[in-house]
Structure 1
Amino acid sequence: MAEASIHLSYLRLRRLIGICGLALPISAVIVTGNILPSISHYFYSTANILFVGILSILGVFLISYRGYDQEEELISDNLATTIGGMAILLVVIIPGKYVWTDFPLDWNYSANCPTFYCTDEGSVFRVIHFVAAGVFFLAMSWLSIFNFTKSSNAKANKVYVICGIGIFVIILITVLVELILKLNTSEYFIFIVECLMLLLFAISWLVKGKALRNGIEK
């Protein structure tokens, strides 16, 4: 009975982690009524409480998630989620750069910081924020490809691999386009790739939590 209760608790936790991934971009856009250049921009918007709250909850959930510790694994569930959780909390603690010209004109933003803390254009903290976000997605990609696929469900394993590889490929494309080639992309390019990665992240965790029980996880 106790074992069954623990199993159900893990399923709920996995679902909640997946829901957090979906909730952030959707709720931020609804609350502000605007799509910004990146999800990190919402830290400086009226959706600040959602950005901080949802990512903080996600970070705590990931750190709390133990999963399976198997000696033969290079990186265990527990290590991967702890790294991911700590990275996403760092994203919250150290926000992205504040560029007031990126915000809609009707918000009447100025060069004055609208929140208790801002990261300027040339700050080293901007790099830390960016790297922390990358570490989070890389950890979730690894988890989906190598840890979640320990499942005996072949259909679910295919979904995990697709989601994990998808996240990794998007990271590579983003680094290539933004940092190496420095191509002129849409002002919403980062927002789009972040949403795609969060979607893949959410699908992977929702499947693991058997939220799609009637479709994949039977």
Structure 2
Amino acid sequence: MLDYSNTERIGLEKQTTLRILVGVLGMLLPLLLWLLLLIQNGVQSPMDSISHYFYTRAGTIFTIIVSLLAIFLLVYKGYEPIDFILSSIAGVCALLLLYFPTSNITCDTNLINCDYIITHLNDNEIRIKFHFIMAGMFLGSLALMSIFLFTKKKGDPEGLVLPELKGEKIIFVICGLLMLLSMLIIATNCFGIFSKTEFDHYNLTFWFEVIALEAFGFSWFVKGNVFDKRQ
């Protein structure tokens, strides 16, 4: 947690603080985006995906939080070089998915108005596919960290040892698997395995992205030792 005994040090000096911030931002992102459009424009239904909030009045929040996550991931050190490598990949991918946004939003005529849409870009197939790849690499890198790196303790070269899977290790593995499963379901929808009509009708891409982000955020939150009674 934060140490106020030395006034010359910044609050983000400890990795535990950084992990907590990353976790909180990751978990709050979907809620803040939905809540902002609800308050400002009365939009109750979620967008097709979290990335589509880029085009709405909540786009500023989306850009700020994803940018903060990218910066925090880029400065994260971890215990070994592989921690820094994977977190840096996730950080770079987060910045790139912002710079290469997803497809435009189609105005829902069932809503009172479409004032919540404030940005429009000419659709570009290469940009859209690149955004999808970056989003997958972002969540994929974080899932691997949760499963294989967060299950390691400092000075523990063995890492994830299944016979010793207990306590927080179970949480990290479950969170990582939830992220991978959510990504797989979203990806398979692109190949027509599921009914696209029903998938889009129930905004399943959005909800599986929420599951992935909540799992990601919670794993980092737990890694910040917030539940460690020895703190």
Aligned equivalents of 1:131, 1:30: Cα separation in 2: 27
Amino acid at match of 2:57: T
- Would the aligned equivalents of 2:70 and 2:90 in 1 still touch at CA under 8 Å? yes
Aligned equivalents of 2:171, 2:128: Cα separation in 1: 33
**Which of 76, 89, 111 does residue 95 from structure 2 map onto?**
89
Residues 1:201 and 2:216 aligned together = yes
Query: What is the Cα deviation at residue 9 of structure 1?
Result: 1.4
TM-score (norm 1): 0.84
Amino acid at match of 2:47: L
CA 1:103/1:196 → structure 2, altered by over 3 Å: closer, same or farther?
farther
CA 1:6/1:109 → structure 2, altered by over 3 Å: closer, same or farther?
closer
User: How does 1:1-218 map onto structure 2 within 5 Å?
Assistant: 9-33=14-38, 34=43, 35-69=46-80, 76-102=82-108, 105-108=111-114, 114-115=118-119, 118-120=121-123, 122-151=124-153, 154-184=166-196, 185-187=199-201, 188-214=203-229
Identity in percent: 29
Aligned equivalents of 2:137, 2:110: Cα separation in 1: 30
Unaligned residue ranges in structure 1 (runs of 5+): 71-75
- Would the aligned equivalents of 2:12 and 2:18 in 1 still touch at CA under 8 Å? no
Judge which range, 11-20 or 91-100, deviates more: 91-100
Aligned equivalents of 1:161, 1:118: Cα separation in 2: 39
Unaligned residue ranges in structure 2 (runs of 5+): 157-164
Query: What is the Cα deviation at residue 37 of structure 1?
Result: 1.2
> Alignment partner of 1:30: what SS?
helix
| Deviation readout 1:1-48 (Å, 9 max, x if unpaired) | 99xx99971111000000110121111111001311111111111101
- Would the aligned equivalents of 1:37 and 1:102 in 2 still touch at CA under 8 Å? no
Aligned equivalents of 1:207, 1:56: Cα separation in 2: 22
Q: Which has the higher helix share?
A: 1
Query: What is the Cα deviation at residue 77 of structure 1?
Result: 0.4
Amino acid at match of 1:98: N
- Would the aligned equivalents of 1:83 and 1:136 in 2 still touch at CA under 8 Å? yes
- Would the aligned equivalents of 2:150 and 2:169 in 1 still touch at CA under 8 Å? yes
User: CA RMSD for the aligned pairs?
Assistant: 2.7
Query: What is the Cα deviation at residue 186 of structure 1?
Result: 3.8
Map of 1:73 onto structure 2: none
Query: What is the Cα deviation at residue 213 of structure 1?
Result: 3.1
- For these two proteins, the number of residue pairs brought into alignment is 205
Query: What is the Cα deviation at residue 103 of structure 1?
Result: 7.8
Aligned equivalents of 1:16, 1:6: Cα separation in 2: 11
> Alignment partner of 1:100: what SS?
coil
